[in-house]
């Protein structure tokens, strides 16, 4: 094994709360019921797919143009909220583990469906840290499609079979499996029986990557 591809949100940093606030503001504006349970269904899926889930509670139909307007409205709110992020928002154990993996010679990449990945990495002080970034700006299919991870491996110059994928969403684990990667599940995906490994703490990666 030569590389690691990490999902961003929920693995490196958590912006779930910011997503929730932005989606909630959009839903409230439209008079659509939205709560944290519904928000949990949005983990690991694209912005437009997330919107479709929220609109399940709507009493009316929306045109494609209206949906795009709503998605843009939500994202504008979210991007403003992202400006509050700092390096202190990097999740526990991440910085130390990433540095140790690099010291051990592993190539490191981000594999995220978010188009806001560059901004998030900048705000948390990891801009330019990873050897490659594959995100929503260079893919056409969101997880559980493996495209984002496959491109991440290509950017690293590695085969899928040479890389671990680290994910906190079952859809992300499914994407890793579909792409031929060895998967490590944590967070909400902890205990997912399809994953090759499950860890409770990010630092446990070091016991896998010997």
Could you list the active site residues?
7, 9
- Best CA proximity match to 3, nearest among 108, 150, 134, 149: 108
Q: Which residue has the tokens 């990433």?
A: 98
**Burial class of 2 by CB neighbour count within 10 A (0 to 12, 13 to 18, 19+):** middle
**DSSP readout, 52-80?**
HHHGGG-SS---HHHHHHHHHHHHHHHHH
């Amino acid at each position: 094994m030569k590389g690691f591809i990490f999902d961003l949100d929920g693995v490196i940093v958590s912006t779930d709360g910011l997503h929730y606030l932005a989606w909630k503001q959009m839903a409230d504006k439209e008079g659509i019921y939205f709560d944290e349970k519904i928000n949990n269904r949005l983990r690991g899926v694209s912005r437009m797919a997330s919107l479709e889930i929220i609109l399940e509670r709507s009493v009316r139909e929306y045109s494609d143009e209206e949906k795009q307007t709503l998605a843009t409205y939500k994202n504008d709110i979210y991007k403003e909220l992202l400006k509050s992020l700092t390096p202190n928002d990097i999740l526990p154990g991440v910085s130390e583990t990433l540095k140790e993996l690099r010291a051990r010679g592993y190539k490191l990449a981000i594999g995220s469906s978010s188009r806001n990945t560059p901004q998030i990495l900048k705000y948390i002080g990891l801009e330019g840290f990873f050897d490659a970034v594959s995100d929503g700006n260079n893919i056409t299919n969101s997880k559980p499609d493996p495209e984002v991870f496959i491109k991440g491996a290509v950017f690293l110059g590695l085969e899928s079979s040479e890389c671990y994928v680290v994910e906190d969403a079952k859809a992300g684990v499914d994407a890793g499996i579909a792409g031929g990667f060895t998967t490590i599940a944590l967070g909400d995906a902890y205990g997912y029986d399809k994953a090759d490994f499950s860890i409770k703490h990010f630092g446990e990666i070091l016991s896998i990557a010997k």
